[in-house]
Amino acid sequence: MNFSDLLSREDIATQPLFYLFIVFSALLGFGFFRGKRVNDRMFRSAFQDLIDVFRPVDQTFTNIGGSIGYHAQLTAGKADFVEKVEATITFLPRQALLWMPFSLLIRKYDRLFITLHLRHKPLAEGHLIEKGYAGFRGPKITNAARLQQEQIRWGDSFFLLYYANETIRQRLRQLLNRQETPGSIRHIALVPEERKCFVFMIPTRGQVGSNLSPVYRWLPSALKMPGK
């Protein structure tokens, strides 16, 4: 190594940009570990709430894409009106500070998709979907043209109520009477043809169980249970 090479290296080390680079790298590293920890805590909290609500006899958890998301499969007991529950939670990339602002614009929030495989068919097809969610890249309701629709207020939010008949309309309205606010719930769907109930939530740490539990207790009233 000659003197000019040594001098150029010393010059680089004394430049303000060099120190900015070090600070920037440190911030990225801090953001990675902090974001990963936040997502991990949210995952554990949300899935513990699912276990507390459904009380499965068996459960399997699978990581998908590092800190991006997780999948759970919960097996219910034979006496339950639910056969199994599948849940997928996906997170904003909090561990990637450079991508996080773009993700907030595109995806906006964390997501929790829950599918309940039912032992009995719902009485009829019905949906409760938050109006803002329905308008912003929300799910497309396949049979929307064949369903009746009305707008209702649930807590401080406006929801669209889709229903195939008056019976399921009344059952869905009963849920609103039992639960004053939707909390983090954005969509509830009853699909008889698939014998499933779908629930979409924006998971908030410590609130998944309190928002989901009233729906789970209400659900049998919307099913063709034996003896009904």
pTM value surpassing 0.85: no
pLDDT at 91: 79
- CB distance 190 to 168 below 8 Å: yes
3-7, 97-101, 166-170: which is most confident: 166-170
Asked if 226 contacts 220 with a C-beta cutoff of 8 angstroms, the reply is no
pLDDT in tens, 107-139: 666 889 999 999 999 999 999 999 988 776 666
Q: State which H helix or E strand residue 201 sits in.
A: strand 196-201
39 has pLDDT over 50: yes
Tens of pLDDT, residues 150-164: 999 999 999 999 999
Q: How far is CA 98 from the centre of its chain?
A: 23
Average pLDDT over residues 92-109: 57
What per-residue confidence (pLDDT) applies to 58? 93
Q: Is the pLDDT of residue 98 over 60?
A: no
Cβ neighbours for 81, distance < 8 A, ≥ 6 positions apart: 118, 119, 120, 219, 220, 223, 225
